[in-house]
Amino acid sequence: MADRYRDGVPVVELRGAVALLGTFPALAGVDLTVESGEVVLLRGPNGAGKTTLLRLCAGLVRPESGSVEVLGHDLVRERRSVRRRVALLGHATGLYDDLTVTQNVYFWARAAGLTAVEATGRVTAALLRMGLSERLLGQPVHTLSAGQRRRASLAALVVRRPELWLLDEPHAGLDQSGRDVVDALVGDAVAAGATVLVSSHELERVAGLGPRVVTISGGLVVDDTGRDDGGGHGV
Amino acid sequence: MSEVRRFLADARMVAARDLRIEFRSRVVVGQVVPFALLVLVLFGFALDADHRTLRTFASGLFWVAVLLSALLAVHRSAALEQSDGTMDALRMSGLPPAALFIGKATAVFVQLVLLEVVLLGGLLVLYGVQVVDPALLVVAGLLAGVAVAAAGTLYGALASGLGVRETLLPILLLPVLAPVLIGATRAFDDALGAVAVDGWAWTGLLAVAALIATVVGALAHGVLIED
């Protein structure tokens, strides 16, 4: 199948996207276009629809109406073609408690289609990149702190080298060094040409990347004014 | 790598992961197997400690114990994919749902075979049964194990999707497994010399049940984990 994304089509293109959580319209007709290499900061109050928007872009939520295209593919019909190229960091870690950190990340690397050689080469590097000490790599995940689990979860995404990052409150539960690691990770992803949509209440952390700021409220994009000036507007 | 080899590699990876988790958590060894043995002992109490009565009903009691214990193993298998966002991560990984199904069913099958071996030991020791056709016993045990593992994995995913895994799974799964219970019991009756039936004929039913459960499970699993 031709990959229209390669021909300059936006990485994310939502047209009148409506998504329901039960019967509640979490997204009430969102229009949003994100070009390749952009960093988009989603902001808005709790319950505005930021998480649903990110999950919609990951193909984990079906649009009730409207169209959703990611990396040039229609997410309703072709979501399996897209997902391996997209990384979603949500509120959960996606890790198995009884496997070690290394076993978890290796499993997800292989599940994403990497060969054993590729996975082996990337896993330890990704874990150390996330600031996890070698002592922790052989420990079961259930013995880790919440922040360490968050870092391991990020490592499981890093090994896949996704083209689109969807980060939902990526700094949550992390200490100062963990937050720095996340910031560096986002910077590296952008430098490598990836596109990033990040939902965060810590605006000053993302401001350094000069993101385009999109404000969501009541399931709608209410402001899409452009670059953040680093002022850390409260929401 | 060809599509088939890739598919089999994915399934093997999932099975190895589930078995590794089980090896670490020891839920089957520490909880499911003791539960199954306890059921056998309780059946013994309920039917009096008369070996002749127990030998007559040993096959049926064995398979009822297997099915009740399988519910725990299936529940455990399904629960792995519901903890801390692992199902979302699986969806995002692009892993073929059919490979995921085959891998998880294989892991459950391996655990069921272990369970059957231990329970058979229980039958020999507690009920005083004798095996007169070991080949039939093995074939029937393996075929029924495949059927139970495949149907259990499928219905485990279904019950998880409905959000009422603990309570709904037995109600959904046990009626579906009734033909397996009947076929496996008849085959074991013959293999243990308890009743004069053609046990090999019943393995045909078990083979069909195993095939249907596996094919339907592999085809339907994608729909179940997505919707």
* H or E element, residue A74: strand A73-74
- B192: Cβ contacts below 8 Å, ≥ 6 apart: B55, B58, B59, B123, B129, B130, B131, B132, B137
Q: Which among B64, B94, B74, B59 has a CA at the least distance from the CA of B27?
A: B74
- Shortest alpha-carbon distance between residue A233 and chain B (Å): 31
Round to whole Å and give the CA distance between A159 and A156.
6
Q: How many domains does chain A have?
A: 1
- Shortest alpha-carbon distance between residue B90 and chain A (Å): 8
Round to whole Å and give the CA distance between B66 and B36.
7
Phi, psi (degrees; rounded to nearest 5) at A216: -115, 140
Residues of B in contact with A103 (CB under 8 A): 17, 20
Round to whole Å and give the CA distance between A189 and A194.
5
In this structure, are strands A164-168 and A195-199 parallel, antiparallel, or unpaired?
Answer: parallel
Q: Is the pLDDT of residue B91 over 70?
A: yes
Round to whole Å and give the CA distance between B5 and A233.
53
Round to whole Å and give the CA distance between A158 and A129.
9
* H or E element, residue A12: strand A12-21
Range of the domain at A106: 86-161
- Please check whether residue A202 lies inside any domain of the structure: no
Q: Is the pLDDT of residue A144 over 50?
A: yes
CA distances from residue B109 to A217, B35, B43, B154, B193 in whole angstroms, order as listed = 49, 18, 25, 13, 26
- B186: Cβ contacts below 8 Å, ≥ 6 apart: B59, B195, B197, B199, B202
- Where are chain B's structural domains? 3-226
Residue of B nearest to A83 (CA): B92
pLDDT of residue A232: 42
pLDDT of residue B177: 96
Q: Is the pLDDT of residue B74 over 60?
A: yes
Q: Is the pLDDT of residue A231 over 50?
A: no
Lowest mean pLDDT among A60-64, A148-152, A175-179: A175-179
* 8 A C-beta contact, residue A53 and residue A215: no
B118 shares contact with chain A (CB less than 8 Å)? no
- Please check whether residue A153 lies inside any domain of the structure: yes
Q: Which among B208, B198, B100, B91 has a CA at the least distance from the CA of B146?
A: B208
Facing B83 at nearest CB: one of A97, A103, A108: A97
Facing A108 at nearest CB: one of B20, B25, B89: B89
Are the beta carbons of A112 and B94 separated by less than 8 Å?
A: yes
Are the beta carbons of B91 and A83 separated by less than 8 Å?
A: yes
Cα B143 to chain centroid, rounded:
10
Q: Is the pLDDT of residue A130 over 70?
A: yes
What proportion of chain A, given as a percentage, has pLDDT over 70? 92
B79 shares contact with chain A (CB less than 8 Å)? no
- Please check whether residue A157 lies inside any domain of the structure: yes
- Please check whether residue A233 lies inside any domain of the structure: no
pLDDT of residue B1: 61
- Whether the CA torsion B165, B166, B167, B172 is positive or negative: it is positive
pLDDT of residue B44: 85
pLDDT of residue A234: 36
Facing B13 at nearest CB: one of A59, A97, A110: A110
Round to whole Å and give the CA distance between B12 and B6.
10
Chain segment A174-229, per-residue pLDDT in tens:
888 888 888 888 888 988 999 999 998 777 777 777 788 999 999 999 988 765 55
> A223: helix, coil or strand?
strand
| Phi-psi label, residue B109: left if phi above 0, alpha if psi -120 to 50, beta otherwise | alpha
List alpha helices for chain A, DSSP H. Answer: 50-57, 79-83, 101-111, 116-129, 134-137, 146-158, 176-191, 203-207
Phi, psi (degrees; rounded to nearest 5) at A220: -130, 150
CA distances from residue B116 to A42, B64, B109, B142, B186 in whole angstroms, order as listed = 54, 11, 10, 9, 16
The highest-confidence range among A22-26, A37-41, B54-58, B203-207, by mean pLDDT, is: B203-207
- How many residues make up chain A in this entry? 235
pLDDT of residue B21: 95
| Cα atoms in the Cβ-side hemisphere of radius 13 Å centred on A149 | 21
- Please check whether residue A188 lies inside any domain of the structure: no
Q: Is the pLDDT of residue B174 over 90?
A: yes
Q: Is the pLDDT of residue B37 over 80?
A: yes
Are the beta carbons of B13 and A87 separated by less than 8 Å?
A: no
The 3-state secondary structure of B84-119 reads CCHHHHHHHHCCCHHHHHHHHHHHHHHHHHHHHHHH
- Please check whether residue A166 lies inside any domain of the structure: no
Q: Is the pLDDT of residue B42 over 50?
A: yes
Q: Is the pLDDT of residue A1 over 70?
A: no
Kindly tell me the burial class for residue B133, based on how many C-beta atoms sit within 10 Å of its own C-beta (0-12, 13-18, 19 or more): middle
- Please check whether residue A112 lies inside any domain of the structure: yes
pLDDT of residue A171: 87
